[in-house]
A and B are shown apart, each in its own frame.
Chain A
Amino acid sequence: MTPPPPPPASVAAMIRPMPAPADSRANRDILAVMGRPTIGYVALLALVVSTVGWALGTFVYQTYVGLGVAGYSHPIFWGVYIVTFVFWVGIAHAGTLISAILYLFRAKWRNAINRSAEAMTVFAVATAGLFPLIHLGRVFKFYWLLPYPNQRALWVNFKSPLLWDVFAISTYATISIVFFYVGLVPDLAIARDRATGWRKVLYSILALGWQGTTKQWKAHNRTVLHLSGLATPLVLSVHSVVSWDFASSIVPGWHATIFAPYFVAGAIFSGFAMVLTVMIPVRRIYGLERYITDYHFENMSRFILLTSLIVGYAYATEYFVAWYSGVEPERTAFWLRAFGSYWISTWIMISCNAFFPQVFWFKRARTHIPTVFVVSVLVNIGMWFERYVIIVGSLSREYNPAVWGQYTPSWVELSILAGSFAWFSMFFLIFLKLFPVIAINEVKELEIHERAHANGGAH
């Protein structure tokens, strides 16, 4: 400790600039991700951007010529678009779950992944939100779904599940963005303090002049707490509402009370899988092992195992109720789902979602990263097919056997499906280079505490 200075002659004379010691390691490591893009990165970005371009082209073509270019055939009027919509909405659930619910449960291990998960949420919603529009017969009239004052004094039908969707999805998008941004502000301040050039300008604006005073931190904590409190019921409501698009109809295979919890579990399931699918390579490429440890992945694997069990149970329940109801159209719908013309999709769904994740009973599997990665990918595939089976499979075998139908996606639909993945990846790639991929301040919170305990409370 430096010796006390002599009584000052003049305080002003003693003023000197504060010395700036070396930066903290967390800052350096994590901000390093945002450094110069590699060739691989640029190539990948180019690929996804061009895919998005192609999909955009096909969409314009579809809008001009008519939805006939998609594979729709009476009576199967919902297809790949709605399937993909539900898929991405599901993906969007992991972020909020990790940020909000685990926050409320004070599960500290979330800190390493919540930032990227929240980012995925935002991007997934941004992807999902497009599909209800893409599937419209007259997309140029999409704004008619909003209750805006108009000359015809004609309002919307709030009894329609689709209207619930409009409100749920837009609310969810807004809240996840707010959540994402609020969490981001302190880290943006960190970036601001270290950036130069245009980044300096950008981060200075985005950081809102954050300084990390205790008053700010206090407000920040409170905000995060409240947002978590709001987002938790929201995240549950969103996929419930989406599930009611189906459950509140009378279609055999849709009209089931179990749908809301079943879909929410499925959403968390697929969301976690997607986080793993994305973060395992990211961690590898940017060497973030110090922050995102195997312990994190193991915990997420546990979650996947849990939700997989729930989903599997839901499948079983569906079939049981269909059989026990004794209602012939229900029974037939489910029988043909498993053994009819859509049996492949059905068995992909069951094996990917209910069987394969069972390996996570074993710690070896949970901690063996390649296994975790493969399973997570399988789960993503399985969950897409789950929605395909539910939507297309049910619509193709309804009450009137005279018009049982058959649906196969057209190249247009597949292009736009591919485009959706590219669209999502595009945002995520940009995010990697623009924002701290890990919530630095939360990491520090842990680190500083640990240090305190390390030098055994020197005070």
Chain B
Amino acid sequence: MPTLVGIFDQPGPVAETVRRLRGRGFRELQLYSPAPFPELDDALDERPSRVRWWTLIGGLTGVTAGYAMTIWMSYDWPLVVGGKPYASIPPYTIIAFELTILLGGLATLLGLLAVGKLPRVKADPAYSPRFSAEEFGLVVRCGERDVAEVDALLRAHAAKEVNLVEG
């Protein structure tokens, strides 16, 4: 299946092109950009990233673990210190808080890897170091007979060049 790569200089036109292509029913799109751009975020997929669920679950685990650990350990071998109750919630809240942050953060990292399909060993055939410079790459996989149309459409939207690469 042919794969066309349109090279752009600006994020704006890219977003526009993507909208057109999807309007024309092209679904197999991939978009490389040298930096994050809000205008591109929802171009391919409107749904918010699923990373947030990871954070939430991580955080909840942390807070529960924090309180559970501190309180259980206090009663596992109860000792009086400074005439305070065996389990003193105020200080334990600090531990719980820190664990919330810790597990929340680690879970978020895992979320990034899972959602971003990282780590990956092999690079896409369509990927080029240019995209880690300052150019945008819009990859369209289409049927042979659509090549010309896509090519034209890309050029029409300020793709400074269009390359046909190995699919």
Q: Do chains A and B touch in the complex (CB under 8 A)?
A: yes
User: Taking beta carbons and an 8 Å cutoff, which residues of A are in contact with B?
Assistant: 1-2, 4-5, 7-8, 11, 14-16, 18-21, 23-24, 26-27, 147, 153-159, 163-164, 167-168, 170-171, 174-175, 178-179, 182, 185-186, 189-190, 193-194, 208-223, 226-227, 230-231, 233-234, 237, 241, 441-442, 444-445, 447-448, 451-452, 457-459
Inter-chain contacts of B21 with A (CB < 8 A): none
Instruction: Produce 1/0 per residue, B107-141, CB < 8 A to A.
Output: 01101110111111111100111111110000000
In angstroms, Cα B49 to Cα A213, docked, is 13
Chain B residues with CB below 8 A from A2, complex form: 155, 161
Assembled-state Cα–Cα distance A186/B116 (Å) = 12
Q: How many A-B residue pairs have CB under 8 A?
A: 233
Interface of A, helix, strand, loop or mixed by DSSP = helix
Residue on B nearest A241 in the bound complex, by CB: B94
Whether A26 and B134, one on each chain, are in contact in the complex, defined by CB atoms closer than 8 angstroms, is yes
- From A233, which residue of chain B is reached at the shortest CB distance? B101
Check if A226 sits within 8 Å of B12, measured CB to CB.
no
Contacts of A445 in B (CB 8 A): 35-37
**Complex interface: chain B residues within 8 A of A18 (CB):** 5, 128, 130, 163, 165
Contact B99 A171 (CB under 8 A): yes
Q: Is B26 an interface residue (CB 8 A)?
A: no
| Nearest CB in chain B: distance from A132 CB, A | 16
Contact B152 A219 (CB under 8 A): no
Closest 3 CB pairs of A and B: A208-B119, A209-B120, A193-B129
**How far does the Cβ of B94 sit from chain A's closest Cβ, in whole Å?**
5
Cross-chain contact B144 with A11 (CB below 8 angstroms) = yes
Name B residues whose Cβ lies closer than 8 Å to a Cβ of A: 2, 5, 9-13, 16, 30-37, 40-41, 43-45, 48-49, 51-52, 55, 59, 69-70, 73-74, 76-77, 81-82, 84, 88, 91-92, 94-95, 97-99, 101-102, 104-106, 108-109, 111-113, 115-124, 127-134, 144, 147-148, 151-152, 155, 157-158, 160-161, 163-166
Q: How far is the CB of B2 from chain A (nearest CB, A)?
A: 5
The residues of A that contact B33 with a CB separation of less than 8 Å are: 212, 214, 217
Check B115–A219 contact: CB distance below 8 A: yes
| Contact B81 A157, beta carbon cutoff 8 Å | yes
- Having A154-B77, A219-B49, A227-B105, one finds 20 other A-B pairs with CB under 8 Å, namely A16-B163, A18-B128, A20-B130, A23-B129, A155-B76, A164-B98, A167-B99, A171-B101, A175-B102, A178-B108, A208-B118, A208-B120, A209-B120, A209-B121, A214-B45, A215-B115, A222-B49, A445-B36, A447-B134, A448-B35
Q: A24-B133, A24-B134, A214-B44 given as contacts; is B98 within 8 A of A171 (CB)?
A: yes
Knowing A208-B113, A218-B41, A219-B49, the reply to whether A4 touches B155 (Cβ < 8 A) is: yes
A209: chain B residues at CB < 8 Å are: 118-123
**Which residue of the partner chain A has the closest CB to B118?**
A208
Q: Are B81 and A159 in contact (CB under 8 A)?
A: yes
How far, in whole Å, are A443 and B20 apart by their CA atoms in the complex? Answer: 29
Whole-angstrom distance between the Cβ of A32 and the nearest chain B Cβ: 15
